[in-house]
Structure 1
Amino acid sequence: MHLISSGGTVGRGGGPQALAILSQPPKTINQYLRVTIQGEVMEQDFGLPAMALRTLETYTTSVLKVDLSRPTEVKDTWRALMDEMSEVSRTHYRSIVFQDDRFVDYFRAATPETELGRLNLGSRPQKRKAGGVETLRAIPWVFAWTQTRLHLPVWLGLGSALGHTISDAEKITVLREMYREWPFLRSFFDLIQMVLAKADPRISSYYDEKLVLDAGHREFGVELRKLLQETVENVLDVSEQKALLDKDPVQQRALNNRREWLNPLNLVQVEALKRLREQARQGVEVDPNERKGLADALIISMKGLSSGLQNTG
């Protein structure tokens, strides 16, 4: 019996049910499947009888398709390249998240991480204990970056790994072969594309402009957005597309249509965060009704963006 996690953020291994099942390693499904449903997608997958039926049909169809399909042989050259890319990605990720002194302060200032306690994310606390970013639980860690539309936990390190591979003509040929023939890698890139299509550097820079007071930290944000753009370009190079999700026009159109409704929520959230933080810094007594109004606006914007973007925690 094989276990997968259904739904939830791509940064923590979540994704569409069918894509997750069809991309599993050979001989791991074997007619049976055990599924863990992420809380954030419980309602959308099982909230109504018709939704529940469709979800169960998706599981059943995918399991049958895996059992009836000939498994893809994973070549040694593919494994070797994946190991090499993994090491490059890990090294770059840790150099920014754990070794750059600016990271934690920027994260606290540029995202609503410190205000997430206002939103009920479940029974588990926002942090395990006092400390830096390593003490933060996975859900608010991803959630905070999603709110600012940077989605950093999903792509950070990937651009460097792809850039390392693209610079070598032989390796990029192998990687494109892997993308075409290996369901696991193809599903990985498809999920990454979906999240990258939801990212918006302009929105992220607006958070920095209004909320990040230190000039050095604002420059750090510029550096992160450059890395995001490099990642997008490298993903398009490997998948041989002109724009993200060109091979999935239905989802591409859906995200484009949704974007104009999401942007105003980000603007409201930034303004609420700015006013609440200014009040806290000034230490003056504030009208309780005004503060409650700002807190309500913040919570509503968080919930609206979470619903619109999905893959949030």
Structure 2
Amino acid sequence: IEEINVDIVPLFETIEGLDTARQSMGELYNLEYYKKQLKYRSDFQTIMLGFSDGTKDGGYIKANWEIYKAKENLTAVSMENGINVVFFDGRGGPPARGGGKTHQFYASQGPSIANNEIQITIQGQTISSMYGSKPQAIFNFEQLLSAGVINDIFTDDKSLISSQERDLIEELAEVGGKKYLELKNHPLFVSYLEHKSPLKYYGKTKIGSRPSKRSTSSQLKLSDLRAIPFVGSWSQLKQNVPGFFGFGTALQSKIDEGKLEDLKDLFENSLYFKTLMQNSMMALSKTYFPLTSYMKNDPIYGEFWNILYEEQQRSINNMLLVSGQKLLMETDPISMMSVEYRENIVLPLLAIQQYALQEVEENLDENAKTVFEKMVTRSLFGNINASRNSA
């Protein structure tokens, strides 16, 4: 065992995996040969948490809360076994894959979560947009460093989650997760992505380091889909479902119970919940359902499109109500202007893409079909580059 001079890094990403993470690591820590390995590695253990597949599995609010609780549990079981744990967060570009306000995200994690080091994946357009030049890289590294310092030195009540706040977040996560699960189990969920989005073109663009799906089967299954084409396809549709779906219904359930003031207090006093909702508001600010409004009367997909649209409207209305804002991202005007500037580039490209997708589905002429497929692929490139964190 002493000849193994690399770290073994467990990965937890599905909702079930996150729920049983503490038990899994507890059993691993107590294996005699693994104890020797950890001793040889100075009793340090790196654990990776997968945001992308967690969101695909359980929806935005459910996945993020499960990851937070898993970090608390893994911190506790590591301390019990005398192990220094380091979390490696598999965070992609958009909020649906763990992106968004990275500084606020880490600053909001209180003393119950180990922060000896901050390790994150930097992927896609995030590399160039945040670390593409020396000044950008210095600024963003300083943001990460200061987030860790804030946790240790300037911890205040807003970075702590009280038992009452915890109960409320738990209830929101359960309702939101159930709503997302209903959507995921809808018979048209995968078919909608396959036929109405550019999902199958992601493999042709070569923007990912891996195939678009894990299986070589001709039949598309949700479990086989990689996170980048899954989240990216919703982004290309300007629907961003993984970044908000279920949040609006969760908030509505508490509003209906007369807990609007409790939600407002939670948003104001919990940095974790505030960051969670602000990141979702960012995803919602990039939705634009008029792009696909022609689908609402589609004989096959019309009902499904309306389910998505209704939840988007519900989420926007309830988030504005809870936050006391009149516009999404109102308190972050610079980011709001940045999004608006890029949307002016993106929307024309996506209008072309939607037209080309319809022609591909309906056109029987192979030469014309080839041309329209190239249009889809080229618009993918342009949108991904312009959107910054669309995949």
The TM-score normalised by the length of structure 1 is 0.87
| Residues 294 and 110 of structure 1: CA distance in aligned 2, closer, same or farther (over 3 Å) | closer
CA distance in 1, matches of 2:320, 2:175: 19
* Stretch deviating more after TM superposition (123-132 or 144-153): 123-132
The letter of the residue matching 2:376 is L
Deviation >3 Å, runs of 4+? 1-7, 27-32, 290-296
Bigger shift: 34-43 or 227-236? Answer: 34-43
Q: Which runs of 5+ in 1 are unaligned?
A: none
Q: Does 1:15 align with 2:103?
A: no
**C-alpha contact 1:85 1:162 (8 A) present in aligned 2:** yes
Q: Looking at both structures, which has the greater relative contact order when contacts are Cα pairs under 8 Å and sequence separation is at least 6?
A: 1
Contact 2:90 2:120 in 1 (8 A): yes
* Equivalence for 1:246: 330
Residue correspondence of structure 1 range 19-34 to structure 2 within 5 A: 19-28=104-113, 30=115, 32-34=117-119
Query: TM-score normalised to the size of structure 2?
Result: 0.71
**2:150 matches 1:62:** no
**Residue 126 of structure 2, aligned match among 22, 30, 41:** 41
Tell me which residue corresponds to 2:198. 112
Distance 2:267 2:274 in 1: 5
Among 288, 292, 297, the alignment partner of 1:204 is 292
Which amino acid is 2:273 matched to? Answer: L
Aligned residue type for 2:174: E
1:215 counterpart SS class:
coil
Counterpart of 1:311 in structure 2 is 389
Distance 2:136 2:103 in 1: 15
Q: Could you say if the C-alpha distance between residues 273 and 155 of structure 1 is closer, same or farther in structure 2, counting changes exceeding 3 Å?
A: same
The letter for the 2-side match of 1:108 is: E
Residues 91 and 97 in structure 2, CA contact (< 8 A), matched pair in contact too: no
Kindly report the root-mean-square deviation, in angstroms, between the aligned alpha carbons of the 2 structures: 2.2
- Residue 135 of structure 2 is matched in structure 1 by 50
Shift of 1:156: 1.1
Note the 1:269-288 alignment, pairs <5 A: 269-279=353-363, 282=364, 284-286=365-367
Structure 1 residues 136, 7: closer, same or farther in 2, change over 3 A? closer
1:29: how far off?
5.3
* 1:85 counterpart residue number: 172
Task: Give the fraction of aligned pairs with identical amino acids, expressed as a percent.
Answer: 27
Q: Does 1:133 align with 2:217?
A: no
How far apart in 2 are the matches of 1:30 and 1:294?
49
Q: Deviations over 1:38-71 (max 9, x none)?
A: 2441222222222222222222233223322124
The corresponding residue for 1:178 is 266
Cα offset, 1:217, TM superposition? 1.1
> Is 1:75 matched with 2:134?
no
> Which position in structure 2 is the counterpart of 1:94?
181
Question: Aligned partners of 2:306, 2:96: CA distance in 1, in Å?
Answer: 22
Structure 1: distance between partners of 2:200 and 2:123:
24
C-alpha contact 2:125 2:384 (8 A) present in aligned 1: no
Correspondence for 1:163 among 252, 260, 264:
252
CA distance in 1: counterparts of 2:128 and 2:387, whole angstroms? 15
Which stretch shows the higher mean deviation, 236-245 or 253-262? 253-262
Q: Tell me by how many angstroms 1:2 deviates.
A: 4.3
Q: Determine the C-alpha separation between the residues in 2 that align with 1:4 and 1:217.
A: 36
Encode CA deviations 1:173-231: one digit per residue, 9 max, x unaligned.
2221111111111111111111111111101324x37xx9x513123212311111111
CA contact 1:5–1:36 (8 Å) conserved in 2: yes
- CA offset at residue 264 of structure 1? 0.7
CA distance in 2, matches of 1:160, 1:220: 16
Preserved contact between residue 6 and residue 16 of structure 1 (Cα < 8 Å): no
State the alpha-carbon separation in 2 of the partners of residues 30 and 116 from structure 1: 35
Residue 97 of structure 1 and its aligned partner are, at CA, apart by 1.3
Structure 2 gaps of 5+ residues are 1-85
CA distance in 1, matches of 2:202, 2:313: 28
CA contact (8 A) 2:92 2:122 kept: yes
- 2:119 match: secondary structure: strand
Q: For the Cα contact (< 8 Å) 1:197–1:244, is it kept in 2?
A: yes
| 1:285–1:309 distance in 2 versus 1, CA, 3 Å | closer
Q: 1-side partners of 2:121 and 2:198: how far apart? A: 28
Q: How far apart are 1:303 and its partner, in Å?
A: 1.8
Take 2:141 and 2:200, find their aligned partners in 1: how far apart are those partners? Answer: 38
Residue aligned with 1:37, SS: coil
| C-alpha distance in 1 between matches for 2:332 and 2:252 | 24
Cα deviation, residue 110, structure 1: 1.8
Paired residue type of 2:111: P
Q: How many residues align?
A: 301
- Give the drift of 1:25: 2.8
Counterpart position of 2:317 = 233
1:108 partner SS: helix
Distance 1:158 1:224 in 2: 12
**Mapped contact 2:103–2:144 kept (Cα < 8 A):** yes
